[in-house]
Amino acid sequence: MSSHTGTVALVGRPNAGKSTLLNRLVGVRIAAVSPKPQTTRTRIMGIVNVPGLQAVLVDTPGLHGPRSELNRRMVKTAEGAMDEVDLLCWIVDATRPHDEELAARFAGRKVVVALNKVDELEDKRLLLPLMAIYAQTGVVVPISALTGDGTEELLQEWARSLPEGEPLYPEDHVTDVREKDICAELIREQLFVACGQEIPYVAAVEIEKFDESERAEGKVTIFARIVIEKPSQKAIVIGAGGKMVKRIGTAARKQIEALLGARVMLKLFVAVEPDWTTNPRMLRDLGYTGD
């Protein structure tokens, strides 16, 4: 059986389900997921290994109109990924109108369209007309990243679209992202879950200490800093009597323990860095390059 291998960029609008699809296909939660848009801020690579296929996935920030330096760097990151891969997989929210702007942007590129959230379509008769519209951009595969429906067919289409070749990574690899960076993603995900609309968009997470010295005994110690812009936001993240930050930490710790297979002592600190989302130096220090 011939083997196909290559790189696939997961691209699309914010909240289309890119990170959910990445996590499902890889089998490990390596990308932050939430109902709120713009959860993914940097490129996160996952590796899918199935018989006859190794697909190296690049999860990108949602394509949108940049409103700040942070947003600009996020879009730059996504656009850079599009130019470096063998195949684009355009993740489309099937419950939204046809995206003519992105269809024009992807014209002439090698594209597979993953028509996502088909399980949320109230009128299933809309599916075939939607598929016909998006077929003008590329091969269309209806899926539900949440339930897994259609994902096997999606992988088969990727295999047909990618070149034959030897795997780029060992078959037991699922990502090239460092564990400490995945931990930061998981903490930020819980920040999205716990806080209101405002906070997540001006918050970043930085792992200041990742101590594995007792990992052989099943223990890892992590100190993480949640960075926000204003004292009033710090008060929200900490919460009355520290309840909010404790809630965030407890939920994140459970996910990190599942990831690391060890008991985790997680300490969260909240720091105010005024206007960090527009400060090039701070953005660079926190890992948002996009240059």
| Tens of pLDDT, residues 22-79 | 889 988 776 655 554 444 445 567 889 999 999 988 877 654 444 555 555 555 555 5
Whether pTM > 0.85 for this model: the answer is no
Partnered with residue 59 across adjacent β-strands are: 10, 44
Phi-psi sector, 240: left (phi>0), alpha (psi -120 to 50), beta: beta
Helix ranges, the chain (H): 18-26, 69-82, 100-105, 127-134, 151-161, 179-194, 231-238, 243-260, 280-285
Contact by Cβ (8 Å): 199, 174: no
The per-residue pLDDT for 26 is 85
The token duo for 126 is 């809309």
Lowest mean pLDDT among 151-155, 215-219, 237-241, 271-275: 271-275
The per-residue pLDDT for 38 is 46
What are the start and end residues of each CATH 3.40.50.300 domain in the chain? 4-161
CATH number of 4-161: 3.40.50.300
pLDDT at 164 over 50: yes
What's the pLDDT tens digit per position in 183-218?
988 898 888 888 866 565 678 888 999 999 999 999
Lowest mean pLDDT among 16-30, 217-231, 236-250: 16-30
Amino acid residing at 135: A
The per-residue pLDDT for 198 is 57
Contact by Cβ (8 Å): 4, 156: no
Coil, strand or helix at 178: coil
Distance, CA of 120 to CA of 55 (rounded, Å): 27
Distance, CA of 230 to CA of 106 (rounded, Å): 39
Domain covering 179-285 assigned CATH 3.10.450.50 in the classification: no
What are the start and end residues of each CATH 3.30.300.20 domain in the chain? 179-285
What's the pLDDT tens digit per position in 149-163?
999 999 999 999 999
